[in-house]
Amino acid sequence: MGLVALDLPAPAQLRGRWAAFAAVCAARKWGSMCHAEGRVWHFDDAGGNWLKLHHLDEGRAVLTGNDHEYSETYYGPAAEEFGEEETDLLAGAPDWWRPVVQQTLDAEDYVGFVYGFDGADGWKRAEYSVDDGFRSVGLPALSLEETRESIAVFTRNAPGLNGAAPPQAAVDALIAADGDVTEDHVIAVIGKGGWDPAAGAAAARKFLAF
């Protein structure tokens, strides 16, 4: 059984959007839901659904995650615990996917999807027909439009905006900074007062490690 090619942005394309949303979250003191930590980029929806992008050597990456409501794949311990047929998320996968998955299982997290990225070959996953829950987790960085919309939603109550929407040009500049974010970038989006632009800029710059 072969792997299935996926039409997803490369990690380099995801970085600016992911970092921009992380900046807004951190400025609001919600940084735990979207952040970079070493070689890992994290996102969750604050409702128990999550994903992590693990950067490996040679430009490779593995993305794992789970949606406890919509992941119909049951891998490893989850299949046994819930009495469901197992979906082999590593069927046909190269060996370098496996340590990341094992790390997740060792942390006693369920795994609903595993995607691997290998340079010119792009993103791939094992072959299966059930919904793995990846889309329902809601990673904003998958598109420019989703990132813009999520930033607008998360800044709606920013004291510095006085009820206004963040300026579109400022949001686009925050994304275009590609992780190289300054306090001024963040202030332009959230306004002055109430939130912490320094924390936002610091959170975004952690995405520059890879």
pLDDT of residue 109: 87
**Two tokens at 68?**
């406890």
Over its length of 210 residues, how does the chain's per-residue pLDDT go in tens digits?
689 999 999 999 999 999 999 999 999 999 999 999 999 999 999 999 999 999 999 999 999 999 999 999 999 999 999 999 999 999 999 999 999 999 999 988 899 999 999 988 999 999 999 999 999 999 999 999 999 999 999 999 999 999 999 999 999 999 999 999 999 999 999 999 899 999 999 999 999 986
Report the pLDDT value the prediction gives residue 27, as an integer from 0 to 100: 98
Length of the chain counted residue by residue? 210
* Cα–Cα distance, 173 to 79 (Å, whole number): 45
| Distance, CA of 181 to CA of 7 (rounded, Å) | 28
Sheet holding 34-37, edge to edge: 4-6, 123-125, 113-118, 60-66, 50-55, 40-44, 34-37
Of 209, 207, 205, 203, nearest to 26 by C-alpha is 203
Judge contact between 53 and 123, C-beta under 8 A: no
d(CA 98, CA 92): 11
Tokens standing for residue 201: 């800029």
Question: In a 10 Å sphere around its CB, with 0-12 CB exposed, 13-18 middle and 19+ buried, how is residue 122 labelled?
Answer: middle
For residue 102, what are the contacts with CB-CB under 8 A and spacing of at least 6?
none
Report yes or no: 160 and 192 within 8 Å, Cβ to Cβ.
yes
Instruction: Give the whole-angstrom CA distance, residue 53 versus residue 58.
Output: 15
Q: Can you name the residues that pair with 114 across neighbouring β-strands?
A: 64
Q: What pLDDT score was predicted for residue 74? A: 94
Q: Tokens standing for 59? A: 């430009």
DSSP letters of 158-176? -GGGTTPPPPHHHHHHHHH
